[in-house]
Amino acid sequence: IAEVQYGGRITDDLDRELFITYAAKWFCDDIFKPSFCFNNYPFDFDYKIPEGQEMPQFLTYIETLPTVDSPLIFGLHTNADLTCRQLEATMMLTALMETQPKDSGSGAGKSADEIVREKAQELFEKTPKDFI
């Protein structure tokens, strides 16, 4: 199965080795046992294959999935989440700064700081509570 990921278009040898490793670990009969759990560390949520064969059972399970996954489930250190969020915040603030007008006219409009503060407040209000 791992050899045909992405339609058989894995061209990098290390990527191929990684997919083969994942397949050996996760694509086995053990994943169908009720006691199997994808995360092998203590966490608030146990990632499992839901029991049952009917659509409502799967939908119920999907609704219980956490909105923000721990980086541990992907084999990453917990600092990966912090690094990712810092990078996203930096990119967003950079984009805000780059979209500001460069001229400093003497009009009665808002200053660049006021506009950025206003946009940051708008984004803050739209941000889900899990990200704050």
CA gap 123, 126 in Å, rounded: 5
Return the pLDDT at 104. 58
| Per-residue pLDDT reduced to its tens digit, 29-71 | 888 888 888 887 777 788 888 888 899 999 999 999 988 888 8
Q: What is the pLDDT of residue 89?
A: 92
Average pLDDT, the chain: 83
- Is 108's pLDDT higher than 70? no
pLDDT range class, residue 19, cuts 50, 70, 90: confident
The continuous run of DSSP H or E covering 97 comes out as helix 79-98
Residue 103 has pLDDT above 70, yes or no: no
Asked whether the CA dihedral 75, 81, 83, 88 is positive or negative, the reply is positive
Q: For the purposes of burial, counting CB atoms within 10 Å of the CB of 33, is it exposed (0-12), middle (13-18) or buried (19 or more)?
A: exposed
Pairwise CA distance, residues 88 & 92, whole Å: 6
* Contacts (Cβ under 8 Å, ≥6 apart) of 128: 67
